[in-house]
């Protein structure tokens, strides 16, 4: 007997139109979590939560993504409650999670399928963050408003263009943990990373003003906090930081897989 037609549900699934298969989902999930388990920021959180159950977790995540993009309905679980029980989970971890996921998708999947996975991951991450904030009894993280002096330094022509970390960028070095008294003097005055070097400024306690002061960009001042995304430093773009009373932060440096620039400072 010939196999019947593909079900209506499969035809409606967003992954059907862009060629997503179960094998592709398997490769994406396993490739992504291999990066997570090697990542200094995410590995401790996942290893503590998953323990020795990685095989079970990977199978469950394959079921999850199969349900999301192929509408198979295989996933059974409560991801919101699971993530809300992780007190150390912060917005900066979601940024790192999204970057590694998009990086893996661009490697494993054809462009249209990768775009679908990335779009879904962004929606999921936003939903989880909103749910976690609600569970913890606080408003969702939003950019901290700038003061009048900071607003005056932003060009009247509009906000700076949004930059992003390249998908093929990987972390190769991070600084020690700084506070308001140990921050190196070089970070308090205009400086830049070298060509080909990006950086993320992670605040884990207190707040830090991150200023971009480069003629190639609109001047901007962003208040970085633990509940917001990290500050993105572009290669060769002049910038500096200003501690706001108590703060603890570190800087993580990235470069692309195709190049090996000298380490910059940030």
Q: What is the pLDDT along the chain (266 residues), one digit of tens a residue?
A: 343 444 455 567 889 889 999 999 999 999 999 999 999 889 998 999 899 999 999 999 999 999 989 988 898 877 777 777 777 778 788 888 999 999 999 999 999 999 999 988 988 888 787 777 776 665 444 333 333 333 333 333 333 345 677 766 777 888 989 999 999 999 999 999 999 999 989 888 899 999 999 888 888 899 998 877 888 999 999 999 999 889 999 998 988 865 444 434 45
What range defines the domain where residue 55 resides?
A: 9-135
Whether residue 264 is contained in a domain is answered as no
Verify that 20 and 118 share a domain, yes or no.
yes
SS (H, E, C) the chain: CCCCCCCHHHHHCHHHHCCCCHHHHHHHHHHHHHHHHHCCCCHHHHHHHHCCCHHHHHHHHHHHHHHHHHCCCCCCCCHHHHHHCCCCCCHHHHHHHHHHHHHHHHHHCCHHHHHHHHHHHHHHHHHHHHHHHHHCCCCCCCCECCCHHHHHCCCCCCCCCCCCCCCCEEEEEECCCEECCCCCHHHHCCECCCCCEEEEEEEEEEEEEEEECCCCCCCEEEEECCCCCCEEECCCCCEEEEEEEEEEEEEEEEEECCCCCCCCCC
Verify that 18 and 95 share a domain, yes or no.
yes
Contact indicator for 140, 129 with CB cutoff of 8 Å: yes
Whether residue 141 is contained in a domain is answered as no
Whether residue 45 is contained in a domain is answered as yes
Verify that 196 and 249 share a domain, yes or no.
yes
Whether residue 228 is contained in a domain is answered as yes
Verify that 18 and 51 share a domain, yes or no.
yes
Whether residue 261 is contained in a domain is answered as no
Contacts of 260 (CB under 8 A, 6+ apart): none
Looking at residue 13, what is its pLDDT? 80
Looking at residue 154, what is its pLDDT? 32
Looking at residue 233, what is its pLDDT? 94
Query: Does pTM surpass 0.75?
Result: no
Contact indicator for 113, 20 with CB cutoff of 8 Å: yes
The CATH number of the domain where 232 resides is what?
2.60.120.10
Domains of the chain: total: 2
């Amino acid at each position: 007997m010939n196999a019947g037609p593909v079900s209506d549900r499969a035809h409606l699934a967003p992954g059907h139109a862009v060629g997503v298969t179960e094998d592709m989902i398997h490769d994406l999930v396993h490739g992504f979590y291999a990066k997570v388990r090697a990542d200094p920021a995410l590995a401790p959180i996942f290893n503590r939560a998953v323990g020795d159950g990685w095989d079970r977790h990977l199978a469950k995540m394959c079921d999850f993504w199969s349900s999301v993009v192929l509408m198979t309905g295989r996933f059974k679980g409560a991801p919101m409650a699971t993530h809300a029980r992780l007190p150390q989970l912060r917005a900066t971890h979601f940024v790192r999670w999204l970057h590694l996921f998009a990086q893996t998708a661009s490697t494993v999947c054809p462009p249209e399928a990768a775009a679908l996975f990335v779009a879904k991951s962004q929606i999921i991450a936003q939903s989880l963050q909103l749910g976690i904030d609600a569970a913890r009894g606080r408003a969702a993280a939003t950019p901290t408003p700038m003061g009048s002096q900071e607003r005056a330094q932003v060009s009247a022509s509009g906000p700076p263009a949004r930059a992003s970390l390249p998908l093929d960028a990987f972390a190769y070095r991070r600084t020690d943990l700084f506070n308001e008294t140990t921050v190196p003097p070089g970070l308090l005055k205009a400086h830049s990373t070298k060509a080909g070097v990006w950086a993320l400024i992670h605040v884990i306690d207190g707040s830090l003003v991150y200023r971009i002061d480069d003629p190639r960009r609109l001047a901007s001042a962003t208040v970085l906090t633990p509940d917001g995304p990290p500050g993105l430093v572009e290669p060769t773009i002049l910038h500096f930081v200003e501690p706001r009373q108590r703060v603890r932060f570190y800087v993580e440096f990235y470069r692309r897989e195709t190049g090996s620039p000298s380490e910059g400072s940030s």
